[in-house]
Amino acid sequence: MAHIDKTVPGSFCWMELSTTDQTAAKTFYTSLFGWTANDAPMGPGQFYTMFFLDGREVAAGYTMTKEEAGMPPHWNLYIAVESADAAAARAPELGGKVLAGPFDVFEAGRLAVIQDPTGAIFHVWQPLKHGGIRISNVHGAFCWADLNTPNAAAASPFYSGLFGWKMEKGEHDPSGYLHIKHGDTFIGGIPSPEQIPPNVPPHWMLYFQVDDCDASVARATELGASTLMPPMSLEGVGRFAVIADPQGAALSLFTPAPRG
């Protein structure tokens, strides 16, 4: 278990579930990951659910808004920046599009919603009172994100220009998978087109660490989830699966390989 006490610009800093049934989603995720939940009012008949592990923020959830009508339930990915306004100004110069913001989220931080040149959507977050996730390397915590897009050639310079990320191929990996490197740390990747399900719009796929991938998939199924990709192993990396929660939001479960 690692506690996160400082939000670093360019890092994945927050995970937020947009769902059609917030109460049911709370039951699912607290049962699957051992999260606890705390609801805060957002407006008439609305509330924002903060999820915690070991008393530290790990994710959040809310009921889908009118602006999201027509979209399936999904996980939103937030990326930390020093200035949401500067990131929103820079994104169109790099071929992206600003869908919303920048705007203040009470006193928590400043937010903008951006679409990359290939169509994948993400949020940039300028932290004020809320820095983001505060725990990692434990069952139920976010651990990785893949950009599923068929056009890595367009996506790579966009994200490198916006966040300073480096895209690197694995030294002994012939698959074409690109590793996203932030500073000295690998934080995510871009699968090759052959590794992406067909007819799925470009999107960010979030990974959550679990102690036992197979057992977690079985438990998720008991709780009403469906399996989109059954557990499979990557030599020297770990074992992962892709599921959809009972409302349809997709996520990946990952168990890292034992370190020798």
From 162, 198, 199, 165, select the one nearest 180 (Cα to Cα): 165
The total of structural domains in the chain comes to 2
- Residues 86, 113: one domain? yes
Domain finish residue from 127, 155, 180:
127
Residue 172 is part of a domain; what is its CATH number?
3.10.180.10
Give the range of the structural domain holding residue 85, as residue numbers without chain letter: 2-127
Does 133 map to a domain? no
Bridge partners, residue 227, by sequence: 243
Judge whether 211 and 230 are in contact, CB under 8 Å. no
Q: Taking the CA of residue 101 as centre, how many other CA atoms within 13 Å lie in the half-sphere pointing to its CB?
A: 23
- Residues 11, 112: one domain? yes
- Residues 158, 220: one domain? yes
Domain finish residue from 68, 95, 127:
127
Helix orientation angle between 22-33 and 213-222, rounded to the nearest 10 degrees: 150
From 218, 219, 205, select the one nearest 249 (Cα to Cα): 205
Tell me how far apart the alpha carbons of residues 217 and 146 are, in angstroms, rounded to a whole number: 19
Tell me how far apart the alpha carbons of residues 46 and 66 are, in angstroms, rounded to a whole number: 13
- From first to last of the 260 residues of the chain, give the pLDDT tens digit: 689 988 999 999 999 999 999 999 999 999 999 999 999 988 787 899 999 999 999 999 999 988 877 889 999 999 999 999 999 999 999 999 999 989 999 999 999 999 999 999 999 999 999 999 999 999 999 999 999 999 999 999 999 999 999 999 877 777 789 999 999 999 999 999 888 888 889 999 999 999 999 999 999 999 999 999 999 998 889 999 999 999 999 999 999 998 76
Tell me how far apart the alpha carbons of residues 88 and 67 are, in angstroms, rounded to a whole number: 19
- Residues 178, 216: one domain? yes
The strand pair at 250-256 and 238-244 is best described as: antiparallel
- Residues 56, 78: one domain? yes
Domain finish residue from 127, 159, 174:
127
